[in-house]
Each structure stands twice: as C-alpha cells, then as structure tokens.
Structure 1
Amino acid sequence: MCLWERPRYGGPRTVHELAGTDVDSCVPLPSGTSAQALANRTGRPVTTYQSAECGETGEFDTYPGGGTWVPQTPYRVRAFKIWER
C-alpha cells in the first residue's frame, strides 16, 4: 500500500508492506500527516478513512486489491485498514 501526500502521486510517499501491517486493524498515519493519492497493490481490499481512528462517521472508501491506483482521493486520508478478503 503506497500513499502520497499530494494529488497525482506528489510529495513524499509512504509504503506499508502487507507483511508488516496488521490485517483487519486500523492503521493511522503519523500525527499531522495525511495522503491524497494511493496505490493499493496488496491483493486485498483496503478501506481509507478521513478519520485517524477509522471512524465511519467521516468519509471512507474501499478500494479493491491487486492494482488500484487513485490519483486523487475525495478527502484527506488519515488512516486505512487492510482486509483479510
């Protein structure tokens, strides 16, 4: 899972390997950071959240695994969750 700070894959990129990420758990981005572009190449569905706590009261979307590229998310992503399948 790759996340970029700015739209169109601009700015610093953070990479989250499936082997080092707890599946079915909320993964907040570091405090004060967010992302506006992503690539889900995990092979599993990933839900991104506007909320840093993966709260469903804010915006959230689920992207299929295996090669989903999103040049601009509809909101600032502050957390994500990789699903088992």
Structure 2
Amino acid sequence: MRRHTRRPSARTAAAAVLVAAALIPPALGPVGAATAAPAVPPPSAAPRLGSCGAGELCLWTTGGFQGARRVHELSGLDIESCTALPGGATAASLANRTGRPVTTYQSAECAETGEFETYPGTGTWVPESPYRIRAFKVWER
C-alpha cells in the first residue's frame, strides 16, 4: 500500500529557515556562514629554565636563571655540611639536580633564625627565591 506524503511548500520551508535562524545564537552566525573563532589569549610563555646538568646544584645571581651561574657538583660537596657562597656572594634563583634534598639559607652560616627552604633533588627549578641565598646544605636522602 502506497502512502501519499505531502511535500512542504516553498513558503513553509522558508518559514522553517527563518525560525531556525532566530534560534541560532548571534555568536555562531547563520548556518553555513564562516565565522571567526572567539579571541583566546595566547598561552603564557613558560619560563625558560637555566642550564644545569644532572648531579649539579646551580645558583644564579639574579632571578629567572639570569646573571652569573655558580655550579656545585654533588661529588665535590660535603653532605649535611653548611656551604657558604664564597666572598659574600648571593643567589636569587636555583636548580637542584643533585638527586638529594638541598636546603638554601638566607644566613651565610646556615642559621635557622633567618629564612630557609628545602628543595627536593628530583629536578627542582626555582626562578625566584623568596630571599637572597647565602648558603646551602645537601642532605642524605
């Protein structure tokens, strides 16, 4: 048995398009029209890490891994001994790649009356120390 279906008239089809166009949010534009993607700010550039090899503690004189770099190799350090930066030098950023925890001190004598912070040795990069680093200790694991 054959069913008879009625085709919509041109007027009915035009009305359907107008209704659909009214339901589309303005940001999307009409169906099939090219629209510009919404403006998205570019992702912030990640801070560039300073050069520091495996087994090293690297200290930079200024933040952002800039300025003169001082490198201390694990093989040349006394474990759990205070190591003051020579000649009254200070550091503002660091990378700990020693494989051991390192505590940095505001005090040149590793006194805990000043600021101090311990960083894991699994590849810790600190672009801005919260204080001027004057000494450090490398700890047993």
Aligning the two structures, in what range does the TM-score lie when normalised by the shorter sequence? over 0.9
> What does 1:3-42 correspond to in 2, within 5 Å?
3-42=59-98
User: TM-score if structure 2 supplies the norm length?
Assistant: 0.60
Q: State the 1:32 CA deviation.
A: 2.4
How far residue 31 of structure 1 moved from its aligned partner, in angstroms, is 2.1
Q: Structure 1: which 5+ runs fail to align?
A: none
- Which SS does the other structure have where 1:19 is aligned? helix
Q: Does 1:70 align with 2:121?
A: no
Rounded to whole Å, the distance in 1 between the matches of 2:110 and 2:134 is 8
2 CA distance for matches of 1:19 and 1:66?
Answer: 17
Q: Which has the higher contact order (CA 8 A, sep 6+)?
A: 1
TM-score by length of 1: 0.98
Find the aligned partners of 1:55 and 1:31 in 2 and give their Cα distance. Answer: 18
Q: Which runs of 4+ in 1 moved over 2 A?
A: none
Q: Which has the larger radius of gyration?
A: 2
Q: Aligned pair count?
A: 85
Kindly state the Cα deviation for residue 39 of structure 1 after the two structures are TM-superposed.
0.1
CA drift of 1:66 comes to 1.6
Indicate the percent of aligned positions where both proteins have the same amino acid: 68
SS of 1:8's equivalent in the other structure is: coil
Q: How far does residue 71 in structure 1 lie from its aligned partner after superposition?
A: 0.1
Report the AA paired with residue 95 of structure 2.
A
Where do 5+ consecutive residues of structure 2 fail to align?
1-56
**Which structure has the highest strand share of the two?**
1
- Give the residue type in structure 1 aligned to 2:104: T
Distance 1:78 1:67 in 2: 21
* 1:29 partner amino acid: L
User: Aligned-residue CA RMSD in angstroms?
Assistant: 0.5
1:74 deviates by: 0.1
